[in-house]
Amino acid sequence: MRDPAFVLLLAAALCVLGGMLWGIQMAVSGDHLLASAHAHLNLVGWVTLALFGIYYRLTPAACASRLAWVHAVVAIAGVLVMVPGIVLVIQGGSPVMASAGAILGLLSMVLFLTTLLRHGFGHR
């Protein structure tokens, strides 16, 4: 089975691929209504997940912890809930899904901070 670093980096790569394709679609169509959802997919999905994955790859003790798996699941779920939720809000729907994704994102950052405080950075 792959480790949390790999899973986070894989999710990040899938997010940026989706973000790039979505950006091309917006450029071709001239419709940029969903640009803020696209930006969140790229920033939270690509950048944040990739940074988490790099941290775990560089800090093996943290990567080997059970908390790393919990963190990875919460972080990825946050993106998967937040981005479609933003789309729904832009289209006039309820903010519940976007808010739930944002709360998952916040929880993910608290889990990362906890991991960082426990394990530091780098090889240990």
Q: For residue 73, give both structure tokens.
A: 């699941």
* pLDDT at 19 (0 to 100): 97
Radius of gyration of the chain (CA): 15
Mean pLDDT score, 16-44:
97
Q: Per residue in 52-72, is it b (16+ CB within 10 Å) or e — as a string? A: bbebbbebeebbebeebebbb
Q: Residue 57 pLDDT more than 90? A: yes
Q: For residue 13, give both structure tokens.
A: 């790569």
Q: Residue 124 pLDDT more than 60? A: no
Q: What is the longest distance spanned by two Cα atoms in the chain? A: 50
DSSP 34: T
Please state whether the predicted TM-score (pTM) of the whole model is above 0.75: yes
* pLDDT at 25 (0 to 100): 97
